[in-house]
């Protein structure tokens, strides 16, 4: 099965390496050409359990792959138009012939000519069907592809969306592994006809250099059709191959019918841990121990939970304890937002606390702490 991983950060490299080790045909699509050349030449180095292995994968720059797909699509459209025009011409010729045959002097001649006309019309219809089949399969019999979008939400700007629109074809599937909310609606508008899946992963991954990733902790992948997206899982011919690829890779993955609740559950964790670790400049485990950290955590957690419940999140009453448990289990981890602030990169604050504030406004719920967290982290960028 052809699987394309869009984005070669920690999550992208980890899934690309594991899927390739399981026997899937993996192509990594990177933001830069230099990383693509490195991966194509040396593969992904996957480190786990104190051991490292180099995993061979295909790799291309996303820009180049999108351009090649757009050119192939244009060529296919031209070839399809030529076949359809030829079929139409044959059908018109057959129709003229049938009229002419009406003036034939004998019934035998007329019958024979009409038979020829009917044969020509059938052939024209067959040519049209062949053209339609070619359009569905794509050039050289292109089959649908499964894509995994593993870039941060902060990267989902107009340029990347244009590249995705050129890269993906109707019949393809796209699994989105972004933190926060708001991106699925943008992707659905940009990619009509693409089957969209929302996913939440708890795998621990740390990128070390351009081609090496450390599998820092086992987790699970939960995914399901995005709300309001085109198509359904039951009608997706690619789904069986994807699930088999996950199984062969040893990735614990579950097709979920409550993926929206899982997205909200992860959003609640990110909305508290990410901005506060970035603002206080501490690893996850230090957050509850910080003199003001625990008070800020409680206040931001209560506000965020209230917003999500107003939007339909099914709270269990165990959310606060789960937050503390995550801080304990990832005590030494540097959150992605803190890492971005330290590196001077744009953060995902707009898609996490910023989106929570916008969600609150839609449901008439106050969100002063989320608004403040978004503004403060933006000031650090």
| Active site amino acids | 266
Do residues 107 and 134 make contact, with C-beta atoms less than 8 angstroms apart?
no
Distance of CA 307 to CAs 73, 297, 313, 326, 358, Å?
A: 44, 15, 9, 21, 10
Measured distance CA(239)–CA(146) in Å, rounded: 8
| Half-sphere exposure (Cβ direction) of 13: Cα atoms closer than 13 Å | 29
Q: Which residues contact 290 (CB under 8 A, 6 or more apart)?
A: 280, 282
Do residues 372 and 296 make contact, with C-beta atoms less than 8 angstroms apart?
no
Do residues 266 and 235 make contact, with C-beta atoms less than 8 angstroms apart?
no
Do residues 311 and 361 make contact, with C-beta atoms less than 8 angstroms apart?
no
Interstrand relation of 146-149 and 195-201 (parallel, antiparallel or unpaired): unpaired
Look at residue 22 and give its three-state secondary structure. coil
Look at residue 5 and give its three-state secondary structure. strand
Distance of CA 207 to CAs 25, 214, 225, 331, Å?
A: 22, 6, 28, 18
- Biggest CA pair distance of the chain: 106
Report residue 315 CA to chain centroid gap.
Answer: 27
Element (H, E) at 47: strand 44-48
Cα angle: 98, vertex 100, 105; to 5 degrees: 110
Q: Which of 218, 221, 210, 238 has its CA nearest to residue 28?
A: 210
């Amino acid at each position: 099965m052809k699987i394309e991983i869009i984005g070669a950060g920690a999550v992208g490299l980890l899934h690309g390496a594991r899927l390739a080790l399981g026997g899937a045909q993996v192509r990594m699509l990177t933001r830069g050409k230099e990383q693509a050349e490195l991966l194509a030449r040396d593969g992904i180095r996957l480190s786990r359990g104190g051991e490292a292995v180099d995993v061979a994968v295909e790799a291309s720059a996303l820009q180049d792959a999108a351009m090649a797909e757009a050119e192939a699509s244009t060529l296919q459209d031209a070839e399809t138009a030529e076949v359809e025009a030829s079929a139409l011409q044959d059908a018109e010729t057959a129709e003229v012939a049938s009229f002419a045959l009406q003036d034939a002097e004998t019934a035998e001649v007329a019958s024979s000519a009409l038979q020829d006309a009917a044969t020509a019309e059938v052939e024209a219809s067959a040519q049209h069907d062949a053209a339609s089949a070619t359009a569905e399969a794509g050039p050289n019999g292109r089959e649908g592809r499964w894509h995994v979008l593993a870039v941060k939400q902060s990267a989902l700007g107009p340029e990347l969306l244009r590249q995705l629109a050129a890269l993906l074809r109707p019949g393809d599937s796209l699994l989105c592994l972004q933190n926060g909310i708001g991106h699925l609606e943008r992707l659905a508008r940009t990619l009509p006809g693409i089957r969209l899946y929302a996913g939440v992963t708890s795998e621990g991954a740390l990128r070390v250099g351009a081609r090496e990733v450390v599998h820092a902790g086992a987790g699970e992948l939960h995914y399901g059709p995005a709300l309001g997206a085109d198509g359904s899982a039951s009608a997706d011919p690619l789904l069986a191959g994807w699930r088999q690829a996950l199984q062969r890779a040893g990735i614990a993955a579950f097709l979920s019918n409550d993926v929206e609740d899982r997205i909200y559950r992860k959003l609640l964790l990110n909305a508290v841990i990410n901005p506060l670790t970035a603002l206080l400049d501490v690893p996850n485990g230090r957050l509850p121990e910080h003199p003001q950290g625990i008070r800020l955590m409680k206040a931001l957690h209560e506000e965020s939970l209230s917003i999500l419940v107003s939007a339909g999140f099914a709270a269990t009453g165990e959310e606060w304890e789960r937050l503390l448990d995550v801080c304990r289990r990832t005590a030494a981890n540097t959150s992605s937002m803190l890492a971005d602030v330290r590196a001077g990169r744009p953060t995902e604050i707009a898609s996490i606390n910023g989106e929570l504030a916008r969600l609150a406004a839609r449901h008439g719920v106050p969100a002063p702490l989320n608004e403040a967290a978004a503004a403060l982290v933006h000031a650090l960028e």
